[in-house]
Amino acid sequence: MGVASRVASNEGLPKRVKYMVEEETRDAPSPGAGIGAGRAEGEAAPGPRWWETPECVRRSGDVRPRREGCLPRELRIKLYNDVVALRRCGLTYGGIVEEVYRRYGVRISKSSISEWLHGIHSPYNGRRIPSLELLKPSEELAYVIGAVLGDGYAHMRRRIIKGYSDSIIGLEARDREFVEEFGRRLAKVLNRREIRPRYRRSSGRYVVEAKSKTLYELLRKPVDLDRLKPYVEHCERCVAAFIRGFADSEGCVDKKGRIHIYNTDLRLLTYIKELLRRLGIDSADPKLHTRRGTIKRDPRTGRQYVAKKDVYVIYVRARSNTNFYRYVGFTITRKQRRLEEYVKNKTTPPPTFFHPASLHTTLINNKS
């Protein structure tokens, strides 16, 4: 039985939805009243009611199917925000009901308004970012995306604990300043207090984690670059922040000042090369660096391991190191210092996106 047929008998609908449907259909013209009955002359025919829209029908691909007759989360959040704003303007509950109906064609009950305003219920349901549609592009988000595509991770908790989010975004790295920067930017994206890193003795690394189902949906593997592009390519600063986060994870500067960026995803490195070009940074095409099955040695721990995937690398050409320093740079001190020394020996270091001219000049003078 479809939604429209169930509405006629109110069968299988929640009590609150039944009330809303009855309110909607109370003044509706009878089937025999004629096509134009109940409308003024020249008035357009009304569109489908909210319970007849495709969004209210259960989607086969949903992990947790939506109840039929329940408004979509995005619409409920818009209604919630409008209800709060209208109440602050001094409207009564009845006035809010009429204004919301005028804007959206949805008549919500006064009890729902009361529960929203008193904090008893909320359509956010504990999600700081309710959906990808409400996720706004920013430099912080672009940096988080870049870092997660590198050393970061987005995974589901294996054992789901009732009452807790099972979607985790995190980063584990040896450089504390990198993990702190990631935690600061991630906290800003989630609009929460700063996330402090903790030290994991078993691995000798610092860790930052946060729970966010929306970010997990965006960053889960396999990564969909087309889904990430609106957040990465929003503006030039977002592009620079994305590359900075990725370079902090996967980039390095050798003793001669050459910048290398590694990854196992050839398509992702090709995309990074294109973004570098947009910032005026010339780089070589991705090349195979390490074949799968090669035995490698960690220079820090001395442990040997076998490469599970092919590793590719792109090189930033020496003539573009200054532009890389100006527009991108590194958060990790040891990487930034090497690049700074190279640029300083070649020419006077210019101010960067991330350091104003006064602060930048002070840092250089102090090192001199």
Which pLDDT belongs to residue 52? 54
> Sign of torsion, CA 31 33 34 36?
negative
Q: Can you give 31-89 as a three-state secondary structure string?
A: HHHCCCCCCCCCCCCCCCCHHHCHHHCCCCCCCCCCCCCCCCHHHHHHHHHHHHHHHHC
**Given the DSSP bridges, would you call strands 251-253 and 259-263 parallel, antiparallel or unpaired?**
antiparallel
**Dihedral (C-alpha) 248, 249, 251, 254: value to the nearest 10 degrees?**
80
Give the integer Cα–Cα distance in Å for 293 and 307. Answer: 5
Which pLDDT belongs to residue 360? 45
**Structural domains present in the chain:** 3-26+48-117 (no CATH), 134-157+165-367 (3.10.28.10)
Side-by-side strand order, sheet with 259-263: 251-253, 259-263, 311-316, 287-290
Which pLDDT belongs to residue 285? 92
Mean pLDDT, the chain cut into blocks of 10 residues (368 residues total): 48 51 52 48 55 48 51 80 90 92 90 85 66 83 95 80 70 94 92 88 90 87 90 95 96 89 94 95 91 80 83 92 93 91 72 53 47
Which residues, including other chains, have CB under 8 Å from residue 41's CB and lie 6 or more apart?
Answer: none
Whole-Å CA distances, 114 to 79, 146, 165:
13, 42, 27
Give the integer Cα–Cα distance in Å for 240 and 142. Answer: 8
Helix 225-232 / helix 236-250 crossing angle, nearest 10 deg: 120
Nearest to 228 by CA among 267, 283, 286: 267
313: which strand partners?
262, 287
Do residues 192 and 205 touch, judged by C-beta distance below 8 A? Answer: no
Which pLDDT belongs to residue 292? 87
Q: Both tokens of residue 125?
A: 């349901």
